[in-house]
Amino acid sequence: MLLEVKKINTFYDLSHILFNVSLEIDKGETVCLLGRNGVGKTTIFRSIMGLTPPRSGSIRLYGDEIKGKKPYEIARLGVGLVPEDREIFPDLTVRENLEIAGKKGRKEKQTEDWTIEKVHRLFPILRDRNNQWGGTLSGGEQQMLTIARTLMGNPTLLLLDEPSEGLAPMITKTIEEQILLLKKEGLTILLSEQNSSFALRVSDRAYILEKGHILWQGKTSELREKPEIMMTYLGV
Amino acid sequence: MTIEAFIGQALSGISVGMVLFLIAAGLSIIFGTLKVLNLAHGTIYMVGGFLCYILTSKLAHIPGAFWWALLFAPIAVALIGGVIEVLLLRRIYSQEMLYQYILTFALILILGDTCKFFFGVGYQTVSVPWPVNGNIALWGLSFPTYNLFLIGCGIVVFLGLSALMRYTSLGSIVRAVTHNRETANALGINVPRVYTGVFMLGSYLAGLAGTLMPPMSVVALGSDMAVIIECFIIVVIGGLGSLPGAFLGAIILGLLNAFGIYIIPKLALAFPFMLMIVILIIRPWGLLGKPE
């Protein structure tokens, strides 16, 4: 098991957000978290990344406990977060945004390390924007830069928080193709989405969340065959 | 006012401004990255002054004692800054702003009284070191060499710092952490270490200013408060967080001080505050700062 989250409870100050959330991701899998706005998808990512550590439960990466470690330590262990609000550094150039995130990957990772050149092959637009300030990019370019920036840290587990949010359909399509390419490369991906059709196309398994609880889990093929599950839990 | 007096006054104003720039730059960098308004920054500068005095007097038998002090005193001040950041400041980042003010105000008292304990309440002087003592003749006029030396130091530090922030990977990391520490942290950047480094850099600059100032002034208790207020004025004029802004603000304040006392001596003390008020009304983010 690459990532094993067991019965975590996470709070923002006094408000209890995640209730005994457990999930598992195997190496090479693409798993999605489905749920409406505010059900705790982002909090799951923040818990794994150590930005909002859970009060109880355990999070294991390759069998080692990472709960309680600092975010930069977790990042160096091979977890890469692509935050929902992108958080491009506006007063760094596109290239500098990529360079500051550069790290060596763990030994388990068998693919070729990410470099600026490799990132440019996946996102050619970033090559043209190389010396532009991060703050001048369009929404779609920012989303690509955020993914590329996280890839520069050579993660074995990529956490994608609502990658299609706020993007035009055409750009969403491009991002989808790029995610599929990453998947093909063997990267393990956990992503969250409100746009379920997007998520169902790219993922192998899904967890459905409601108010901080996991209500359903299973293969995405099952969700595609039985749309009533989606009706019941997501109202779509 | 003769031409000679006018240029002499301008040079002395700018040279004091350059020393203030070093302090204000440190204050501004620390605030930008750590989001801590270090009230004790002036006191850290004063510690640099006392270290300069003690080193130059203890090493008086060695030629070039001042230059050794210039090398070591700022490093010592940076180390003191590192200890303060790791042992004290680090504990209060997640607390309310108020705790920062209480803590850094406490540091003013603690560091100030420590200086009083070791050096007493008198004035200490440091003589102007060779080879920047004496006067230099320019365009038929004569100027104190040390003033020109200070201006040179200010310009070199300004250009060096700007290049460091703009062109090195260290500078990119500091800019990233300044913008969003959480994202930087999640990208694998050791943010606590960056904080310590930036606080030490800011303290180093204060220590450098503290070492450069004594030959043209005196080392005395209370100089910290005078300086910190002037630095606040400089960063308000120039824009908090802007290095060129601090440089410009320091030159303006230096000139204002130098000529204010010539023109209307009774109002000299009030001019900087009046300028600050005008800036706050017409351009609250400072001359070269960015609006929020």
Q: Chain A partners of B186 at a C-beta cutoff of 8 Å?
A: 49, 51, 71-72, 75, 81, 83
Q: Is B162's pLDDT higher than 80?
A: yes
A51/B186 CB distance under 8 A: yes
* Predicted pLDDT of residue A43: 96
Q: What does the domain layout of chain B look like in residue ranges?
A: 25-222
Compute the nearest-CA separation of B88 from chain A (Å).
Answer: 20
* Nearest CA among B31, B12, B6, B3 for reference residue B246: B31
Q: Chain A partners of B183 at a C-beta cutoff of 8 Å?
A: 83, 87, 89
B186/A99 CB distance under 8 A: no
* Mean pLDDT of the residues in chain A: 91
Query: The whole model's pTM is what?
Result: 0.91
The interface predicted TM-score of the complex, written ipTM, equals 0.90
A100/B172 CB distance under 8 A: yes
B173/A100 CB distance under 8 A: yes
Tokens 């390390």, residue? A113
Average pLDDT over residues A11-38: 93
A75/B191 CB distance under 8 A: no
Predicted confidence band of residue A223 (pLDDT cuts 50, 70, 90): confident
Q: What does the domain layout of chain A look like in residue ranges?
A: 3-234
Compute the nearest-CA separation of B195 from chain A (Å).
Answer: 14
Name which of B169, B176, B190 is nearest A72 (Cβ-Cβ).
B190
Give the sign of the dihedral formed by CA A130, CA A132, CA A135, CA A141: negative
Of B268 and A131, which is predicted with more confidence? A131
Q: What is the pLDDT of residues B111-136, one digit of tens each?
A: 999 999 999 888 888 888 888 888 88
Give the percent of chain B with pLDDT over 90. Answer: 74
* Predicted pLDDT of residue A36: 87
Query: How many CA atoms does the CB half-sphere of A2 hold within 13 Å?
Result: 24
Max Cα separation, chain A? 49
A49/B186 CB distance under 8 A: yes
Q: Chain A partners of B179 at a C-beta cutoff of 8 Å?
A: 89-92
CATH 1.20.1640.10 fits A3-234, yes or no: no
* Nearest CA among B45, B54, B20 for reference residue B224: B45
Residue A143 CB contacts under 8 Å (≥ 6 apart), including other chains: A86, A163, A167, A171, A175
